[in-house]
Structures are given as structure tokens and as C-alpha cells.
Structure 1
């Protein structure tokens, strides 16, 4: 064997070792980040409640991801403060069905008046998080929708901006021009930085549709992030994203499930459909609520059922 061929083979072997080594490093990094993000769903603190406010049997179900079964996930944007658990500033339900090649996405308006399961009160649905954290929020939303939630993803709203920046920004379509928190948002297609995306998602009072308009902008951002995350171009960008996600996101999706979702589910998802929970505003005892009647709740529940079957 000539010296030239030996050198070439040595270089090729060295390169393959580097690639394999980096692959192992990336796998470990992903696994460590996934473990850092993982937060098992824990029961809410015990609060005296009436039997009438409790779900007698949990309606949450497990998902066989290896069979590519559809699943639901509640995405919560949480505005946490020092010495205060905070409230869920945004709640977006995703119903993912690879067989239908689609994701159904809709907001649950945060001022929706409903029974807070496990607390024995009727209040704004976003207060469930401040009363009992993730578990009370999930049980309350499940009761409101009468449909099981398989997973949750909790995103710290301040850390959210870093996640957007790590993805290189997020593309949105803005329906009308407005200024908010020192930023100018022109009408049309925009590429937003993390700080801009946070402001874009929070504007409320200048929107003619109020909370519903803000909900639509939140869905627009999440839709852009989903599309971008499903098309991560390089492992180098992935590592940057993981560094940010690990400190800003908590979820009960395990590492093994994440691998299946990324490798098997994402290639089958082609579109994102959106819906809106219809209701009306009403003041009760000086407090403004969003009222969703029984017929609308049944309609939304039917919509999720149709998406999942």
C-alpha cells in the first residue's frame, strides 16, 4: 500500500472518529437537556374542595408513540415572578395527528370563567396555575374541554425570547400596523427577534379584537416556531437551541418520546389548522370574564375528537 493511500485512509478514519465522537456528544447533550427539561406531572397541593368540583376519575390517557398514535399537548406560557408562582399568560392546545398529517391549534382565553378543579372555586382559567401549578391547570383544562391532555410544555415567557433568538427569529404575518413597548410592527410578513416576538404576543389593548387578537398573534408565533424547529438545518444550531430550551422549558415528555416525535412524527406533519374558542365578555362583581357557553364547549370538544380520530 502506497504512503499516499495510507495517509488518505488515516485521514478518513480520523474524520469518521471525529464525526462519531461529535454524534455521541450531541446525543448526550440532547439527552442531558431532555432530562433537565423533564418535569413529571405532580399532584396539586391538597386544598379543601367540594366533591362536585372534582373529576371522579382521571381522564388523562397514555400515548403509544411507537405506533404513531395522535396526542394532545397543552403549551403554557408562564409569567413567573420572584417569590410568586405567577400565572399562565397563554394556554394553547395542540392536537397532533400524524395519520391526518396535521396539527389542530387553538388558544384557551386566559380570562375564561370556569370551575378550578381541585380548588373549589369558579374563576379565570389562568388562575389555576397560581393556585395549584401545572397539575391543577391540566385538570381544569381537561374538565373545561372534557377531553384528555396527554402532555404539557411550560415555557417561561422571559426565556421564550432567548429560544426565538436561538432559532434565528420567527416569521409571522401581521394583520395590522401597531407600536408596542418601543417596537414598530408593520403590516404584512415580518421576521421577529425574541424581544420583538414577546412584545408582539403581549399587545392587547390596541387590538380591535382584544384578547382574541392577542391569542391569534400568539398562535402565529407558535406556528412559526413549530415550522422552524421541524426544519433545523444544522447540528450546531441545535446545540445552541438546546442550551436555551433547557433553562426555559419544562415538560413531561420523556427523552425517548422526544426522539420518536422528532424522527417519526415530524416528517408526517404537513399543515397546522387553527380554531378559536368563541364567547363574550361580561363583568361579574366588578371582574371581567370571558364566558364560553356549554354549546361552544361541546363544539370545541367535538372538534378535538374529530381531529384525534
Structure 2
């Protein structure tokens, strides 16, 4: 099993929607985040006068599935954020950026991050965000920056891993590594404890068959699975998700028949996946059936919970006996 981690969160003004700091034990990094509406308070913080990395995050009006993200670096983050807060038309320098609603900056508690360090970090993080594919980067392509000693590059690689650990806890998923479902699907389930058995969803009347699997808390539908050729349900629920996947080319047209998944696609739940595949609202707990077993996803999940509860009960009995 993966070892647990402790992250210390602090609500600066005591409210969940205000400024927030985060730290990980034995990591020199310090994270400060908040909404753009709190920028006047954020730039007064001492962290903003340090050298660091920052992320500007906002919604993409053309894609509801992924946010817009800008990754930058500065030896005076506060000054740079003030520049980005200027209206683009007024600034005339390209410094203003109107899309963002949240900001997150990462500095060092020991203030040992140099300009060279953060330029290297920026390059790594832009590359990682592009590879993960959970956001649309405003930066464009990353510039390779390798002007660091080998030991410093190793330290910055560790620094990046800590950033990728703490940001999802703060609600920023764009650096969270995407699992590789197709490879997991080929492995024995016992060899991948984070993955469920494979499940099948079939709608024979419309020639639909899809394969899915729960991996690390997300439900994936595998490349090559089929989905309804058009949305036929009510204009609510997952219709916007279905339309977005069609626009993105994830659900590709296949003549007059069902659409086909061009790549592995993650969903927030089995029901979201089942709805997109069926073209209408669907209960994923009953629609997905275990490959070979016929057990529904809901039955499998209940079985897992019961087994865990039984194992916990046996542990309690053992402790009672030892006393």
C-alpha cells in the first residue's frame, strides 16, 4: 500500500473561500492560494515578495471539462500578479490576463529557490501539464531549461512531485497524473490493487458495447468502446458532457452507427460514463456488469465494503483477545 502523507492547511482569514496556505512535512515548499477577488490581500503576504512559481486558473468558455491554466515564474511573484491583473486591452503589454479566477503560488520556506530554479520548475511543470492533458495551457509550448547542476535538477524533480501531491488537495487537478487504463486492463486485477475488475455495458438494440474499469477513484471507459450516436435523453444531466466529448473528438462519428471512443476517457462516476454511452440518463451501479461474473458494479462495490467491514471486525476481535 502507498504510504500516507500529512498536509497542513491553514485558513488565513478563517473562511473556506478566502486565502489558504498548505505545507507538507519535511518539504521546504510553501503554497498560498486564493480567489482573484482576494488578490489585494494576497499580494500583501510576505510569500509574494519571494521567488516562486505561480498558477493562474480559470474556466474555459469553449470547454467545460478542462480549465484554462497559465504557469509562470518570478523573483517577485506579487509584482507579476499585479501585472496579470491589469485589463489586457488597457495594459497593451500582454501582461494582463482576464481569464483567471484563482491563483496559486509556490515558494520556499527557506527562501533557497533561485531564479534559475524557478525557470527550471516552470519548464518541468508546463511539460507535465501538457502531458497530463487535464487543462488547456495558455503558455503554449515549454522552453527547455537545463542550466542547472545535476544535484539541483534532482532537488527540483522532488519539488515538482510535492507540488503535484498538494495541488489536487486544494482543488487543482491539472497536474494530477492520469492513469493508463489500457495497460491496467491487460494486467491481472490482483496485480493492480487500485483497479477494479473490468465491467461491460451493453445496449444490444443499438449495437452498443463498452468496457470500463475503476482506477484510482475514477471510472474509465476504454478506447474502442461504443456509445449512442446522439443524445436522446432530456436536455439536462450529462448532455453537455456528451456534447463536449463529441466536440473534442473523443466520441468520433462512425458512419450512421454508434460513436466510438478514440481514447481512454475518465469519468467522475460509473453513472456519468453510462449516461454518455447510452445517450440518456442511466444508473451506472446497475448498468455496468462484471466481465465474466455478471455482477453489477453496485453489487461488486457492496461486496468490497462488506469484506472490508468483516476484516475490520476480525482485527477488533484479535485486539480484544490480546487484551
* Higher relative contact order (Cα pairs below 8 Å, separated by 6+ residues): 1
Task: State the TM-score, normalizing by the size of structure 2.
Answer: 0.20
Name the larger-Rg structure: 2
Task: State the TM-score, normalizing by the size of structure 1.
Answer: 0.21
More helix by share: 1
